[in-house]
Amino acid sequence: MDLKDIHDSLVSLAYKAGDIINNALPETNDTGSKKNSADLVTEYDRAVEKMISTSLKEKYPEYVFHGEETYDPNRPLTDAPTFIVDPIDGTVNFVHSFPYACVSLGFAVNRVPTVGVVYNPVTKTLYSAIRGQGAFLNLETRLPLKGENAEPLTGLSNALVSIEWGSDRSGPNWETKIATFVKLGQAKENGGAMVRSFRSLGSAALNMCAVAEGTMDLYWEGGCWEWDVCAAWVILTEAGGIVADGSPGGWNPRVDGRKYLAVRGAPAGQKEIVEEFWGNIQGEL
Ligand code: IPD
């Protein structure tokens, strides 16, 4: 299996998808929704996925293809080499022209994320990695950006933490998330962890790539799908970061509860900050 060839094909598809995304004219009142007004799909999501799946099936007919817009709950992720694709991650941003949407192209082997390409065509930012070969920004700058000068993680109170609200706005998952956000953000005298601040980029893949860059310390979300995380997972781990509780290796996203805590590469403190974070989660996701 030629991983470099797969990587290069994904990079060129990412640029092609980027042209479609940049030339699109989505409107906030002209989208389809999946389950509610926070869960959007546009004709562009479908067109980009079609272009990518057609090209990958033609070039690599022996590999499985999983895409967000053709998701089939009866086709779980298996050990077979599989392309895992989100044609537009950050669809809400895309529709509102908030400049954080990307195409997320992953390739997993034995359910291990192995090649990842994430491209934000608006800012022209490309993240990519092949397992065991490092992670790169725009194909040349090695991640994390601070390299060996990255600072240790000293605890949640110094951490910039990325969170997402998700599209489920009721039920136990939502309640756990909201209670956890309060606990993480609250002043220490009121029993909180008082993280330095929260960000929400609106795209799981771009949140994880920000952690890979080292511009964000942590990213936590419960409810991501495999196409949201596969590509950025390779990029993050190749940049020295970790995905906690996402069962790397025997990764089984639909069974694991789809919980992900991404932690940036650091000379020390990764394990401690994961434990501190888990201690603040307010219930089951
Ligand atoms: C969503 C975005 C969002 C995250 C959701 C994802 P989509 O993907 O990444 O930030 O909170 O979990 O499903 O719907 O824009 O492809």
Residue whose Cα lies nearest atom 2 of ligand 1: it is 203
- Looking at this predicted complex, what is its ipTM? 0.93
Active site residues: 68, 86, 88-89, 91, 228
Is CATH 3.40.190.80 what the domain over 149-278 is classified as, yes or no? Answer: yes
Q: Residue count of the chain, please give it.
A: 285
pLDDT in tens, 39-53: 667 788 899 999 999
Contact indicator for 257, 285 with CB cutoff of 8 Å:
yes
Pocket of ligand 1 (CB under 6 A): 68, 86, 89-91, 164, 166, 202-204, 221, 223-224, 228
pLDDT in tens, 120-164: 999 999 999 999 999 999 999 999 999 989 999 999 999 999 999
- Predicted local confidence at residue 166, as pLDDT: 85
pLDDT in tens, 196-247: 999 999 999 999 999 999 999 999 998 788 999 999 999 999 999 999 887 6
Identical fold between 3-145 and 149-278: no
- Predicted local confidence at residue 34, as pLDDT: 65
Is CATH 3.30.540.10 what the domain over 3-145 is classified as, yes or no? Answer: yes
pTM above threshold 0.90: yes
86 annotated to bind ligand: yes
- List the chain domain ranges: 3-145, 149-278
Residue 235 C-alpha to ligand 1 middle, in angstroms?
A: 18
Tell me which residue of 32, 147, 8 sits closest to 91, measured CA to CA: 32
Dig out the tokens for 263 from the structure. 């932690």
Dig out the tokens for 206 from the structure. 């771009």
Instruction: Bin 121: left if φ > 0, else alpha if -120 < ψ < 50, else beta.
Output: alpha
3-state secondary structure of 255: coil
Contact indicator for 56, 65 with CB cutoff of 8 Å:
yes
Residue 148 C-alpha to ligand 1 middle, in angstroms?
A: 32
Residue 248 C-alpha to ligand 1 middle, in angstroms?
A: 20
Which residue type is seen at 21?
A: I
Dig out the tokens for 81 from the structure. 């080499």
